[in-house]
Structure 1
Amino acid sequence: MGDRTSAKGSRSSTVDGVRREAIALRRVDDLDPVVERIGTARYVLLGEASHGTSDFYRWRAELTKRLITELGFSFVAVEGDWPDCHRLHRSLAGTPGAPSDPQEVLATFERWPRWMWANEEVSDFALWLRLLNASRFADLPVGFHGLDVYSLWDSLRAVLGYLSEHEPDQVEAARAAMRCFDAYGEDPEDPVAHGRGIAVVPDGCADEVVRLLTELRRDSDEEPLPGLDERFVAEQNARIVQGAERYYRELLSGGPASWNVRDRHMVDTLERLMRVYGPGAKAVVWAHNSHIGDARATDMERAGLVNLGQLVRERHPANDVVAVGFSTHHGSVVAADSWGSPPRRMRVPDARPGSTEALLHEAVGERDSLFVFGAGSHEWLRQVRDHRAIGVVYRPQAERAGNYVPTVLAERYDALVHCDSTSALTPLRPLEREPVPEAARTYPSGR
């Protein structure tokens, strides 16, 4: 009886601790404590517990607006493809010849999962940023850039296009370097097919593309403009080719290597952007919790995985980096039944008993809440609990068996936004009305 009473008392104390630390999140002004916590930080990593939840995107956008207007952040870097995001960046920066309507650019995003960026929530933020940039006159535009590694074919074409226009005498050398990729076909929806094809591509094939572009840069006296300089963009595309080759090779062998190649590539891209934006640059990163939360505070470390959040923390002083995670107890989400299949709106069932989300729901009920972690935080933040993670591939019926990452919150993030009841985001393209058959292959998970 004594042990049972003690357990009840401990649980009650934990719930009370959560209630005391919860900050009701109703208006943009309620974000003040996390803006204050960010302070002079130069890297702010904003997560999401899924790629298809409106509430995460909207709160993330509102916090980002404040970081740009109040703290002078220089650019937003997202878990998206460089070529697609660069087209959007040109629109937001008001580059001559670029579409004036950001939604027009977002509607051209083709690689699956399109809904991650081609949605109403991102469109609203993009329009806000375009209008802000138009009002900044002589100031450099706030950028919007992709960090990911998947765009092998688009990046190859972009490199060749740049050389054809600016360095025609180098085109034949580039074609020769790229010819080795002809050994396999292009299927942007099928990463496994990419991997099988890459297995027969000669080692160092992509390195030749990078070497060609980096040598051109060494010969140039031009200083790159943030995200707009064509030579810098071409070099970045060449580095994506190099990273994609490594990623798809590792994908076939399994294990943690492909994940690590991808996250290291994202961090390296982020650092290149920081250098080109200048000594006072500040970056906001939008990516899944699995990327922005420190891997060392989860079971990812035991599996040999590193991630963007860990690597940025390792490379910079502690007060230069702030990571904000997101969570939900129940609601709806846009996701797909299998990799490459049409997305649909799915129900997100109540969180698993004993999870972080279940605890927050018990303590604060159906309201959005903010938690900012500090030295005096309650012990519940330093305990290991399951923490929900939904990818672009999602099976609600298997919720109890998967979709959770054992996490010590106070070590993984510096703050958490909890949206207890959430709604699916709104893709720019109509969703499928009926569920699609589940395919046999479901890798990768799409986080």
Structure 2
Amino acid sequence: MRTTASTLLLVLGLGCSPAHLPPQTRPPAPTGPLLTGLVRGADGAPLDGARVGLVPFVPSWNPRTDAPVGLVPSGPDGTFSFGPLAPGTYSLSAVTREGTVLFTKPIEVKTGEPEAPGELRVPGIRVSWDATVVDEAGARIPGAELRVVRPGMPYDDVAFPPAMAPGLFHLETPREGAYVLIASAPGYTTRMHQVARLGEPVMVSLERAADEAMRQAAVEWVKQSGLKLQSVEAERGFEDLERLGPVLQDTRVVALGEATHGTREFFQLKHRLFEFLATRRGFTVLALESNFAEMLDLDDYVLTGRGDPAAFLKGETWDTQEVLELVRWMRRYNEDPSHTQKLRIQGVDMQYSPAAVARVLAYLEKVDPAQVATLQAPLAPMTEPSARTFFRLPQERKEEIRTRLDTLSERFEREREPYTRRSSPGEWTLARQNLRVLRQYLGHVLHEKDGERDRSMAANLLWLLDHQAPGTRIAVWAHNGHVMRGPSEWKDMPMGRHLAQALGPALYVLGFAFHQGAFQAFNMDPNPPPERQGMVEFSVPPSPEGSLDDTLARVGWPLLAVDLRALPRSGPAYEWWRRTHLTHDIGFVASDQGAPSLSSVRPLECYDGLLFVERTTRARPNP
């Protein structure tokens, strides 16, 4: 690891478009402001040869494939210029000859309103590291290109470092921060790679793009080995699903993914699959990508019939008619006295949770009332319906809350015996778990550990396995990006990878894919019209030719399932399935401005099986 104390200044300004050519020789001049700047070194001298890039801060700009607005070197006097530019918000990056990666804050470009000159100063101490782009044999790839992405909300910063040698990039970055690399080369499949530890060498391996023969072999294998599903609807029988029985015979956890958080057919298929798992394979728990505490009332409804399930779903991602029908089916199942093993619905997430705070304080009121008075004021910011109050707290105040929760956790362990006498072993265990998810959330917010959310969800699912009856089998419902066995583009250790390390082949991961259609999502645009605010319908066109979704559509079945564990481990079909392919990947948010909807996945590395829907519709919100 090498550090440096040099400093880089980036001075920015907006000017007017130059117009000094004689009228008879000058073409029509484009209009709009210029973005100009100056790159300086540590000693204040102009810095020549820095590679400066400009990208738009708009949802439609894809950091994987789209060209920057401009990419220019700084001149001998350290200056650079972009434009004329359309009004809007931009992100500026610079990579020095030494490989120092530098980003600005968002820059607002307005016609007739010059941007005041500004500067960006990198930390005095940085870490140096090399990124190498290689083929599958480990040889560096001539002509490889690299993009350095600093993930952000709502948009990402992107820098464009030059190669120091074919396939070799030297980079310098701050000690802290998250970075993702996008590597590409002619004839190879573009790949995103999360940087796990700054300061350590990174190697990104690219695969040769799959050819048409491999793709056709993949299609033929699905036609021969896949399951042509008859319906997405539950309570229609299992004749077309019976072949899944032997596949899932020895599994303890079946993970059900989804390519969006708002697709009717995905939700209906999950209902149907859970019905199959419960009635044919003895699964009794459905665990959702929802907060642990917020699901407890819904679990009580499924067990006892108390309360209104529609009210318990209010505010959840799953507040849809399809999920409500599934919950009511679970209740009907439990009402049948012949079903001695009762179904449960649980949450494994650990995000902002006023319900967890309320349950911990209610338990303490019963077993240790003196503690409640000391905790109510410190924890008050975490009891508001919205997380805004909590997020606006200064960092030291959040640290204080974290310390309070850590101290309370120690007290729970120390006072376990008297607490249990005043309540019951089950009540103590449940209260401690609610406290645990609060501490997980604080760790996530305070960035104590990279990937804390996925690590915590996996830990909470394993906790459920440990605290149910021996042999309990669980189906977990979450996004594809959480359930996958292998690394995703934006995270090295999704929940499914943690579970795979703990459970091995006893985990079966079913990814969900679709070719085209509609879904619902939260509109992330800053000022949408009233009719487009909140959860609204979006749609996407067919996935591009050669993608995972397009290849499955070639099979010609509107609904299908495929068991990737049955794939032969050699031959052209195997070669296609093991490679990286584009697929629809949409979470909770989308944009009317056309946010990218595709990401890359290695199906054979990430999934044990796949469910595919050719055309989708929007999940139906509850009234």
TM-score category (smaller protein): 0.7 to 0.9
Deviation at residue 9 of structure 1 after TM alignment: 4.4
Structure 2 gap ranges (5+): 1-209, 232-237, 527-532
Aligned partner of 1:383 in structure 2 is 579
Q: Give 2:348's match in structure 1, choosing from 147, 169, 175.
A: 147
Structure 2 Cα separation of the partners of residues 131 and 241 of structure 1: 33
Structure (1/2) with the larger helix percentage:
1
Aligned partner of 2:407 in structure 1 is 208
2:516 maps to 1:330: yes
Determine which structure has more spread, i.e. the larger CA radius of gyration: 2
Structure 2 Cα separation of the partners of residues 21 and 196 of structure 1: 55
Structure 2 Cα separation of the partners of residues 183 and 119 of structure 1: 29
Deviation at residue 391 of structure 1 after TM alignment: 0.8
2:608 maps to 1:419: no
- The AA in structure 1 aligned to 2:620 is T
Aligned partner of 1:314 in structure 2 is 501
Deviation at residue 190 of structure 1 after TM alignment: 4.4
Aligned partner of 1:19 in structure 2 is 223
* 8 Å CA contact 1:74, 1:277 repeated in 2: no
**Gap change, CA 1:178 and 1:223, over 3 Å in 2:** closer
Q: Deviations over 1:360-401 (max 9, x none)?
A: 123325x011111125342221111112211111136535xx
* 8 Å CA contact 2:287, 2:474 repeated in 1: yes
Aligned partner of 1:188 in structure 2 is 386
Structure 2 Cα separation of the partners of residues 183 and 67 of structure 1: 41
Aligned partner of 1:280 in structure 2 is 471
Structure 1 vs Structure 2 CA RMSD:
2.8
In terms of mean alpha carbon deviation, does 390-399 or 211-220 score higher?
A: 211-220
**Gap change, CA 1:209 and 1:353, over 3 Å in 2:** farther
- The AA in structure 2 aligned to 1:299 is E
- The AA in structure 2 aligned to 1:280 is G
Aligned partner of 2:335 in structure 1 is 134
Secondary structure of the residue aligned to 2:439 is helix
Aligned partner of 1:172 in structure 2 is 370
How many residues matched?
Answer: 393
Deviation at residue 50 of structure 1 after TM alignment: 0.7
**Identity percentage of aligned residues:** 22
Deviation at residue 129 of structure 1 after TM alignment: 0.6
Deviation at residue 141 of structure 1 after TM alignment: 2.4
Structure 1 Cα separation of the partners of residues 330 and 382 of structure 2: 40
Q: Deviations over 1:121-158 (max 9, x none)?
A: 11111111111111146835211011111143221111
Aligned partner of 2:363 in structure 1 is 162
**Gap change, CA 1:187 and 1:348, over 3 Å in 2:** same
Q: Higher relative CO (CA 8 A, sep ≥ 6), structure 1 or 2?
A: 1
Structure 1 Cα separation of the partners of residues 590 and 509 of structure 2: 25
In terms of mean alpha carbon deviation, does 335-344 or 239-248 score higher?
A: 335-344
Structure 1 Cα separation of the partners of residues 254 and 424 of structure 2: 26
In terms of mean alpha carbon deviation, does 83-92 or 25-34 score higher?
A: 25-34
* 8 Å CA contact 2:549, 2:584 repeated in 1: yes
- The AA in structure 2 aligned to 1:312 is L
Q: Give 1:408's match in structure 2, choosing from 602, 615, 618.
A: 602
Q: Give 1:352's match in structure 2, choosing from 544, 549, 554.
A: 544
* 8 Å CA contact 2:354, 2:382 repeated in 1: no
**Gap change, CA 1:281 and 1:172, over 3 Å in 2:** same
Aligned partner of 2:591 in structure 1 is 395
Deviation at residue 415 of structure 1 after TM alignment: 0.7
2:439 maps to 1:247: no
Deviation at residue 310 of structure 1 after TM alignment: 0.4
Aligned partner of 1:443 in structure 2 is none
Structure 2 Cα separation of the partners of residues 20 and 397 of structure 1: 41
Structure 1 Cα separation of the partners of residues 614 and 230 of structure 2: 13
- The AA in structure 1 aligned to 2:489 is D
* 8 Å CA contact 2:582, 2:599 repeated in 1: yes
- The AA in structure 2 aligned to 1:330 is Q
In terms of mean alpha carbon deviation, does 41-50 or 353-362 score higher?
A: 353-362
Structure 2 Cα separation of the partners of residues 56 and 86 of structure 1: 24
Structure 1 Cα separation of the partners of residues 486 and 396 of structure 2: 29
Structure 2 Cα separation of the partners of residues 280 and 32 of structure 1: 22
* 8 Å CA contact 2:543, 2:583 repeated in 1: no
Aligned partner of 2:434 in structure 1 is 237
* 8 Å CA contact 2:263, 2:617 repeated in 1: yes
After TM superposition, the score normalised by the length of structure 1 is 0.80
Secondary structure of the residue aligned to 1:398 is coil
Structure 2 Cα separation of the partners of residues 45 and 23 of structure 1: 18
Q: Deviations over 1:306-345 (max 9, x none)?
A: 1111011101232x11010101111110101229961001
Structure 2 Cα separation of the partners of residues 190 and 183 of structure 1: 9
**Gap change, CA 1:212 and 1:428, over 3 Å in 2:** farther
* 8 Å CA contact 1:174, 1:209 repeated in 2: no
Runs of 4+ in 1 over 6 A off after TM superposition: none
Structure 2 Cα separation of the partners of residues 141 and 339 of structure 1: 43
